[in-house]
Amino acid sequence: MAVREVPKNEHTKDGRKWIYEIRFEGKRYKSKKFLTKKEALAAERLFYEEKEKIGNQTMMTLGDLFDDHYNYQKDKVKMTTLSNYGKKIKHFNSIKNIKLDKLTMKDIEKWKQEINSKNLATRTKNDLMKYLKSALNYGSKWYDFNFSSMYNKMTNFTDPDEIPKGMQFYTFEEFKKFISVEEDLRFKTLFKTLYYCGLRSGELRGLTWNDVNLESKELSVNKNITVNLDGRKYIVTTPKTKSSYRTIPMPDVLVDDLIKLREMQNNYYDFNNKWYVFGSYEPLVKSALRDRKNKDCKLAGVKQIRIHDFRHSCASLLINNGANITMVARYLGHAKIDETLNTYSHMFKNKLDDIVGTINRLNNKLNNK
């Protein structure tokens, strides 16, 4: 410690007489005067803490910041989100060794050019940009870096020549053709659940018999099954968002099959309501779901769609048969109606034409009076 009391003739009029005097990294630092030794000691500790922080800032690289942010988030986000962070970090290898106090927009622009050269969707590229901003915000909050002059210049990726991927879905007639070739009750019921209830794949695989009320003809979405995390076969986690928690009604055609499936599983050894509807004491393997879908598409002679496209098919079925947009959003578990409108805006084209048709009919009726 280098805290000492100054000579009496150097005391201030209000009695301040304690200082700290330090030699740090070849430089000599002398503090102002303090009333008590305790205050001088506290100020000296603060001096070292600030110098240590500045030293950390000088040495910290972008890669260090990503690692620190990742560790900070471990007990604050879902495992799937944490896993996605890890996947995103790999895309910053070319700039991860740049010290944060030296990071410039030229570095960011050079990185953007590199990412643009990769075969990535614009949405994926912008997810990377969003993650970079999030990490820099973390650095500002916890390490007092100042990136404010950079944020407005960190614009999103754009590609005017990118052709939007078409959204695939089955019409009611196509789905009937698809399901007609499926003879296994479990898979027949599974695909009906996807089509009529619009569940995500993880939500479907997470359904247990505790979640299915055959009397009220409702099912509850309250779990999600994810895979490939920490080497485990699967994990049970929460649904995608808070609004994904939902209880929805089931059509009779689905309830009838679920009743038969329940009766069949009830004969299995150790069966109980904790069993997965489309599995057993463990959920159905994701690859089995995909392989069965591919086989049925080929047998039925219908186009190949993704498992997630059954969700789009449900939305199309509801929208094109006059379902209220608010109810569609709730049925699919969207957080906001905007999400439903933005995702399925093209499906509302016919509905907009219907509105104009209604106006025309009203005016024609008035003119004919």
pLDDT at 299: 97
Q: How confident is the model at residue 357 (pLDDT cuts 50, 70, 90)?
A: low
Q: Is 35 helix (H, G, I), strand (E, B) or coil?
A: coil
> What's the pLDDT score for residue 94?
95
In a domain, 194, yes or no: yes
On whether both 206 and 236 belong to a single domain, the answer is yes
pLDDT of amino acid 57: 59
Q: Which band of pLDDT confidence, cut at 50, 70 and 90, is reported for residue 51?
A: low
Residue 338 sits at φ, ψ, to 5 deg, of -55, -40
What is the CATH number for 81?
Answer: 1.10.150
Residue in the structure block whose two tokens are 């079925």: 317
b/e for 36-58, b at 16 or more Cβ within 10 A? eeeebeebbeeeeeeeeeeeeee
The contacts of residue 85 (CB under 8 Å, 6+ apart) are: 69, 70, 73, 77, 131
* Residue range of the domain that includes 85: 62-151
Instruction: Name the percent of the chain lying above pLDDT 90.
Output: 49
DSSP category for residue 353: H
pLDDT in tens, 55-106: 555 678 999 899 989 988 888 888 888 888 989 999 999 999 999 989 999 9
Opening angle at CA 87, ends 86 and 88, nearest 5: 90
- Are both 35 and 181 inside the same structural domain? no
Backbone torsions φ then ψ of 368, nearest 5 degrees: -85, -5
Residue 185 falls within a domain, yes or no? yes
What token pair was written down for 307?
């498992």
**Mean per-residue pLDDT for 336-345?**
80
Half-sphere exposure of 223 (CA within 13 A, CB side): 19
CA distance 324 to 164: 27
Are both 280 and 333 inside the same structural domain?
A: yes
Are 175 and 198 in contact, with CB atoms under 8 Å apart? no
Both tokens assigned to 108: 């960011």
The rounded distance, in Å, linking the Cα atoms of 64 and 224 is 32
φ and ψ at residue 307, rounded to 5 degrees? -60, -40
For residues 243-262, give the mean pLDDT: 96
> 2-28 pLDDT, tens per residue?
888 888 888 998 889 888 888 766 677
166-181 pLDDT, tens digit each: 678 999 999 999 999 9
- pTM (predicted TM-score): 0.67
Say whether both 250 and 147 belong to one domain.
no
Count of residues in the chain: 369
pLDDT at 123: 86
| Amino acid 264: pLDDT | 94
The pLDDT of residue 1 is above 60 = no
pLDDT confidence of residue 283: 93
Number of domains in the chain: 3
* pLDDT tens string 290-333: 999 999 999 999 999 999 999 999 999 998 888 888 899 999 99
**364 in a structural domain:** no
Average pLDDT over residues 125-145: 90
Is position 156 within any domain? no
Distance from C-alpha of 199 to C-alpha of 278, rounded to nearest angstrom: 13
pLDDT at position 342 is: 77
In a domain, 165, yes or no: no
The confidence score (pLDDT) of residue 28 equals 79
- What is the percent of the chain with per-residue pLDDT over 70, rounded to a whole number? 88
Residue 45: predicted pLDDT: 82
